[in-house]
């Protein structure tokens, strides 16, 4: 029987079952150690394999790869720039490294024949046994100016055999677990639990390991569902609520579920396994976690959209609710514990793990004692202290490991670290738990050892534009997509003359890019291993201010619009240009001051009251939108301060990305996945844009002429998976 060969110029679009199998194999490759940190090869391989799946192999030419994959622009000349040939050669070498080690027993292989940019999906027996991973009859590398004619023998044949083999491999869960050291005994089998045509996340595993509670988004809101692990049927526990219900957590005895709900003003609630006896525990909060005795709940005062987004200082506080005493008390203080979200109570009750944005802007893991110290003296013990995004903590059943999500190997995957539950002392280095995915998060483990559930995500963030008219709502149906799917673009910011948009691209490194307002001609201003975010134009359009960790901690740097003149400006804090053109800094522990241009008098240094941190000034300089330090619980409340009236007006409870209209009469802002408008005269707000089931990124903007609303939509496919230790 002839082995499988998928690929070649004559192949059409791959069938859905085969496509799912090939994509699963692709995700396993990208999450492997062999591809760790190789973001260019990761991006190139994904692009090539998707082209095969979609039957677009005729488009895989050196010019198109340079433009589409490596952002070279329309002026790219393959004869002068060898980047495509170099990166394809590196990819071919990295694939061989993978199949020589981690992928040695994989039932299919992705092969890049020499002389072609079209990958083939083959069985191992189809590959020449020469130690090079080459195909029979491979020719020399192509000349950059010559099209490649390929033999028609490499076409889609034997598909039933290959798809069956891949599906059996996937269903058996033969994805590799951790690969070295004491992790060799911690390999897992993986299986998919949810297959709904909806986003499913925030899984919680019952203590006995038999039931799964999770949040599912249908149409326009979230509900909490319950199902058995050995059955696919699920029941909606919050069907009677039209508000968002998320963050479910099983009680230690498995009889109750705590959750976050937006109903009746929002807060933390508890219900039984039938969705009855609903009781409010606290009038605010997110991400509840039970104490081992089932008498208390710890939760955070704030939440997050994506771990890499949001302000450097969120100032979220942990609170503990006593269910018998009916009390809610703060556990941490923002003056001591900088930021704390998504807490997890340890199995024996000694400590509480959480993650947050530290003073350096990094997202790290911490633990605190669960009781015994007042908030103002409670110190946090660090678990991770590095430049990677470390979040979503969960304790192992025995309390000897802390599981978490991290992008430290190039993909957002699951890791674990040995820890002393009583003291919080770290007992080793982070160890990978390699799931068959490039984005895994929200781990939950029951009392049964060697078993946990998590959410697997596939994310695509695309820039959109839609006509905007003040006073009128915007319909999503009028929006035009400006960037291609598969490209992670965020934080659009138009130049003062409207000729360019600055943005952050993530693939997986974070760089600052420029592109035309119609989404074309993308070019990078930064292109390195550092995390570059939050770009803002100077008033004259000659420079860009952005946040970066290239100096160690996150700091603000400036770069010229042509990519030259890179220099450090200030540490991470509230930093923005005032109406008079001065770049002003607003530290949390001192008075504001001016940084740029040198020698500029700080005329607006004393314009705002103490405790008010501005995010953006109105065009007429009469209003500032920002944060006003409030009494506990600290929240991301958005205020507008009037210099004329010397008064502050609250705009929203959780507002981000304020954008003023030209006449300073209204303010647009993001809250709870929608864009709203606030009228400074009537102090009323109205809905501008509701994206429905799509995720609307916090950072949005208006075009310079304010005729278009520019925003980023994230389409996320999310399913719950089960990991079982072998």
Tell which residue, 310, 377, 386, has the closest CA to residue 341: 310
**Domains 197-458 and 469-706 agree in fold:** yes
**pLDDT beneath 50, residues of the chain:** 1-11, 129-185, 312
Tell which residue, 362, 356, 350, has the closest CA to residue 419: 350
Angle, vertex CA 112, rays to CA 458 and CA 439, nearest 5: 15
Domain spans of the chain, in order of start: 5-171, 197-458, 469-706
Q: What is the pLDDT of residue 592?
A: 84
Q: What is the pLDDT of residue 134?
A: 45
Q: What is the pLDDT of residue 245?
A: 96
The CATH code belonging to domain 197-458 is: 2.120.10.30
Distances (CA, A) of 253 to 224, 257, 261, 405, 446: 19, 10, 22, 27, 11
Cα 575 from Cα 643, distance rounded (Å): 19
CA 236 to chain centre: 27
| Four-residue CA torsion sign, 459, 465, 471, 476 | negative
Task: Provide the token pair at 681.
Answer: 């005269």
Cβ atoms of residues 579 and 621 within 8 Å? yes
Cα 413 from Cα 405, distance rounded (Å): 5
Tell which residue, 450, 424, 283, has the closest CA to residue 346: 424
Q: Left if phi > 0, otherwise alpha if psi is -120 to 50, otherwise beta: which for 476?
A: alpha
| pLDDT tens readout for residues 618-648 | 998 899 999 887 655 556 689 999 998 899 8
Contacts of residue 414, defined as CB under 8 A and 6 or more positions apart, other chains included, come to 403, 404, 405, 432, 433, 434, 435, 440, 441, 443, 454
Q: CATH number of 469-706: 3.90.650.10, 3.30.1300.10, 2.120.10.30, 3.40.50.300?
A: 2.120.10.30
Q: What is the pLDDT of residue 521?
A: 87
H/E run at residue 623: strand 623-628
* Neighbour tally for 307: CB within 10 Å: 20
Cα 473 from Cα 540, distance rounded (Å): 32
Q: What is the pLDDT of residue 243?
A: 92
CA 473 to chain centre: 28
Cα 431 from Cα 365, distance rounded (Å): 15
Cβ atoms of residues 537 and 502 within 8 Å? yes
End-to-end CA separation in angstroms for the chain: 34
């Amino acid at each position: 029987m002839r082995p499988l060969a998928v690929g070649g110029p004559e192949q059409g679009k791959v069938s859905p079952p085969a496509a799912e199998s090939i994509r699963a194999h692709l995700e396993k490759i990208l999450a492997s150690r062999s591809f760790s940190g190789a973001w260019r090869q990761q991006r190139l391989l994904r692009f090539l394999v998707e082209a095969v799946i979609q039957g677009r192999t005729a488009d895989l030419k050196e010019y198109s790869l340079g433009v589409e994959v490596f952002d070279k622009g329309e002026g790219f000349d393959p004869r002068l720039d060898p980047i495509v040939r170099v990166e394809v050669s590196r990819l071919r070498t990295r694939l061989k490294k993978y199949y020589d080690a981690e992928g040695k027993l994989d039932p299919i292989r992705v092969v890049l024949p020499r002389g072609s940019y079209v990958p083939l999906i083959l069985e191992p027996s189809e590959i020449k046994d020469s130690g090079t991973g080459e195909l029979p009859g491979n020719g020399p590398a192509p000349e950059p100016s010559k099209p490649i004619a390929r033999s028609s023998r490499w076409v889609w044949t034997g598909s039933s055999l290959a798809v069956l083999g891949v599906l059996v491999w996937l269903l058996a869960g033969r994805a590799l677990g951790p690969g070295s050291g004491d992790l060799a005994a911690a390999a897992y089998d993986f299986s998919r639990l949810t297959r709904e045509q909806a986003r499913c996340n925030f899984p919680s595993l019952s203590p006995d390991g038999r039931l799964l509670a999770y949040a599912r988004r249908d149409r326009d809101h979230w509900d909490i569902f319950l199902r058995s692990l050995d059955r696919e049927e699920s029941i909606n526990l919050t069907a009677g609520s039209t508000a968002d219900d998320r963050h479910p957590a099983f009680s230690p005895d498995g009889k109750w579920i705590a959750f976050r709900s937006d109903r009746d003003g929002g807060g933390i609630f508890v219900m039984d396994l039938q969705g009855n006896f609903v009781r409010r525990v606290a009038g605010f909060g997110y991400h509840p976690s039970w104490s081992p005795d089932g008498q208390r709940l710890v939760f955070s005062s704030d939440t997050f959209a994506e771990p890499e987004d949001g302000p450097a200082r969120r100032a979220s506080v942990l609170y503990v609710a006593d269910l018998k005493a009916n009390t809610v008390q703060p556990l941490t203080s923002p003056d001591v514990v900088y930021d704390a979200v998504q807490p997890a109570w340890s199995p024996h009750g000694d400590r509480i793990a959480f993650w947050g944005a530290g003073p350096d802007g990094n997202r790290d893991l911490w633990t605190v004692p669960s009781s015994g110290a007042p908030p103002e003296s409670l110190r946090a013990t660090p678990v991770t202290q590095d430049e990677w995004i470390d979040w979503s903590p969960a304790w192992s059943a025995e309390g000897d490991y802390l599981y978490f999500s991290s992008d430290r190997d190039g993909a957002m995957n699951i890791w674990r670290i040995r820890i002393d539950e009583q003291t919080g002392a770290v007992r080793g280095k982070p160890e990978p738990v390699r799931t068959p995915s490039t984005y895994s998060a929200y781990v939950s483990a029951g009392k049964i050892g060697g078993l946990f559930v998590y959410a697997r995500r596939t994310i695509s963030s695309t820039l959109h534009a839609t006509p905007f008219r003040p006073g009128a709502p915007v319909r999503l149906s009028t929006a035009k997509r400006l960037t291609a799917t598969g490209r992670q673009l965020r934080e659009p910011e138009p130049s003062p003359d409207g000729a360019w948009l600055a943005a952050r691209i993530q693939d997986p490194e974070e760089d600052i890019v420029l592109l035309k307002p119609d989404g074309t001609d993308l070019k990078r201003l930064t292109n390195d291993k550092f995390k570059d975010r939050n770009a803002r134009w100077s008033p004259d359009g000659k420079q860009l201010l952005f946040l970066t960790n290239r100096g160690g901690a996150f700091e603000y740097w400036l770069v010229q619009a042509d990519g030259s003149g890179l220099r450090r400006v200030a540490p991470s804090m509230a930093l923005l240009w005032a109406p008079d053109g001065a770049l002003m800094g607003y530290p949390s522990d001192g008075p504001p001051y001016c940084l740029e241009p040198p020698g500029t008098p700080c005329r607006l240094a004393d314009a705002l009251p103490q405790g008010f941190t501005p995010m953006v000034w109105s065009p007429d300089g009469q209003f500032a939108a920002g944060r006003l330090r409030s009494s506990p619980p600290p929240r991301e409340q958005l205020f507008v301060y009037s210099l004329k009236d010397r008064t502050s007006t609250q705009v929203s409870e959780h507002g981000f990305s304020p954008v003023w209209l030209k006449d300073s009469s209204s303010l647009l802002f993001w809250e709870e996945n929608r864009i709203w408008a606030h009228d400074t005269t009537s102090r009323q707000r109205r809905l501008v844009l509701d994206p429905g089931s799509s995720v609307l990124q916090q950072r949005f903007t208006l075009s310079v002429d304010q005729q278009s609303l520019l925003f980023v939509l994230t389409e996320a496919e999310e399913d719950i998976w089960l990991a079982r230790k072998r």
